[in-house]
Chain A
Amino acid sequence: MNLRYSWPPSAWGKALRERAGATAPQASEIARTGAPRVSVRTAATLGRSGRWWNAPWFDTIQFLVLCGALLGLIVSGAMSMGYSWQWYRVPQFVFRVVDGELIWGPLAAGLAVTLEITACSVVLALAIGLVTAFLRLSDSLAGRAVSRVYLEAVRNTPLLIQMYLFYFVLGPIIGLDRFWVGVSCLAVFEGAFACEVIRAGILSVPRGQGEAGDSIGLGRAQVYRHVILPQAVPLMLPPLTGLMVSLIKNSAIVSVIAVLDLTTAGRDIVAETFMSFEIWMTVAAIYLGITVPLSVFMSYVERRVRTCD
């Protein structure tokens, strides 16, 4: 059994779970309340409550009917508008193969910019979040006030307005180009969320841990580095993955300041080709293609932190 390198270690997971107050239902409790006696077979074909409308096959049919109806609506709507579908023209905007050579299209280039913006903003947002979280937790009145004002200002103004402020006011003053205006605005916006996540993570470590660190003579920074953060970070990871998803989505807003991201690329193509249905559906699908795996990964990490053994 190699406990040393399993992540997070199983005993640690147990401690985290106990702290979260997640307790498995006790056998005695189930005996008392009387778990429904449904055979495994019936449970599988009939679902939780044993009624046919909760059965998985009925769920699937419901889902397929719904999707079909939606698709039918779109197709018939488009037909009645006289919309001519040109799906065959879409792939060239993603990539083309000319003489056996791969050439990336504007959508792929836009996606690259979107990912670049996201990556830069995540790093910056984490830095901002870390600093403001420590300010909020500090003894300094001024520090707490600064982070409080920042949080309230960012949370209570529209992201679009923040982008305009950064682009028209801050950008010219400090001389940032569009790309970095977009990145810094997104970072400041998401930094508020990162701050809350980091703060909550740190506060979820019991006080006694810090006191134990103090009592063996560790300094403030050492207590954070060796005692508090190693316990807080696993708890922060799932919400921070969520921050990443939200950043990818919110990065679309840089299209208002004409940064050539995925959304801007889509808009430009639509302006040229009038294929609004196909292009916007494709753009949405590309966003989904990135965010869904991230979300799935997030819930996997979340489950691991909560139930690893």
Chain B
Amino acid sequence: MSPRKGSQGRAKVVVEFEGVNKWFGDFHVLKDINLRVRERDRVVICGPSGSGKSTLIRCINRLEEHQEGRIVVDGHEIGNDPKSVAAVRREVGMVFQQFNLFPHLTVLENCMLGPTKVRGLSKAEARDRAMQYLARVRIPEQADKYPGQLSGGQQQRVAIARSLCMQPRIMLFDEPTSALDPEMIKEVLDVMADLAQSGMTMLVVTHEMGFARTVADEMVFMDEGSIVESAPPERFFTNPENDRSKLFLSQILSH
């Protein structure tokens, strides 16, 4: 693995990919992926469209199945055992590009569903917890609205709160700001930066290079299903080793 900041060098590995391969039919979407994420790491994954970034992080909570190799998350190997998949899903939160809030439930109910049904919290406990995290994403006043009544940025912040209510140890973000209008991107990124500050382990697929530069302690660049380069941001942005990373950076930073 690439060198990392000294303070995090000895932290526990919480996500590990070992020689992971995945195919969609004949299409080889993940090619020999090796990746290690330690506790409190903030990993940003970038790369061109179709390079397999979403597929990679969706393998972590088994929204996608891999066919070869090992994925170990928080001590559980992800495989056909439904128990370990369930255990991992309880510890791993995910935020989607399209928010995927439950439209038939209020913001508060969205946040209470997991804690009451999965963690077995009482309604009152779940409500307190939900309000606490809604305050943290700065929208406690919207608790009784339905998702359809909120702006995109607000919906995405609710989605983050909904995940946090499960008190996960790891958070996955799949292009959380790509579906947002430009004026709403910042409010979501601010919440994510706060979360990073609090020490959450995060894997983030994003094209927001400003965010990556300030928050990430590891940049992973993917192309055509492989991890092409993996480096701390200061080196990745100033002096990328790989030609494809260079090309990608020059394209994305020129906008």
Q: Please report A residues at the B interface, Cβ cutoff 8 Å.
A: 3-4, 8-12, 14-16, 206, 208-209, 211-219, 222, 226-227, 230-231
Contact = CB atoms under 8 A, between A and B. Distances in A.
5 contacts: A3-B144, A11-B103, A14-B148, A212-B100, A218-B114
A252 to B, nearest CB: 38
Given A15-B148, A212-B101, A218 B118 contact: yes
A14 B149 CA distance: 9
B89 A216 contact: yes
Contact of A209 (B100, B146, B162): B100
Given A212-B100, A214-B61, A226 B113 contact: yes
B22 interface: no
Given A211-B63, A226-B117, A11 B148 contact: yes
Contacts of A15: 103, 147-148
Interface in B50-92: 61, 63, 86, 89-90, 92
Contacts of B61: 214-215
A219 B96 contact: no
Nearest to A8: B104
Contacts of B146: 3, 9-12
A7 to B, nearest CB: 11
Interface of B: 61, 63, 86, 89-90, 92-94, 96, 98, 100-104, 106, 113-114, 117-118, 144-149, 159, 162-163, 166
Nearest first, the 6 closest Cβ-Cβ pairs linking A and B are: A11-B146, A11-B148, A216-B114, A212-B100, A15-B103, A215-B94
B115 to A, nearest CB: 9
A214 B103 contact: no
Contacts of B117: 218, 222, 226
A1 to B, nearest CB: 10
Given A9-B146, A226-B117, 9 more contacts: A4-B106, A10-B146, A11-B145, A206-B100, A209-B100, A212-B101, A217-B90, A217-B166, A218-B113
Contacts of A214: 61, 63, 89
Contacts of A208: 96, 98, 100
Contacts of A212: 94, 96, 100-102, 159
A208 B144 CA distance: 23
B118 A231 contact: no
Nearest to A13: B148
A96 to B, nearest CB: 51
A216 B149 contact: no
Contacts of B166: 216-217
B113 A216 contact: yes
Most buried by B among A208, A214, A216, A218: A216
Given A212-B101, A217-B89, A218-B117, A11 B147 contact: yes
A12 B90 contact: no
Given A208-B96, A226-B117, A215 B63 contact: yes
A9 B117 CA distance: 23
B14 to A, nearest CB: 17
Contact of A211 (B96, B104, B162): B96
A217 B96 contact: no
B175 to A, nearest CB: 13
B168 to A, nearest CB: 9
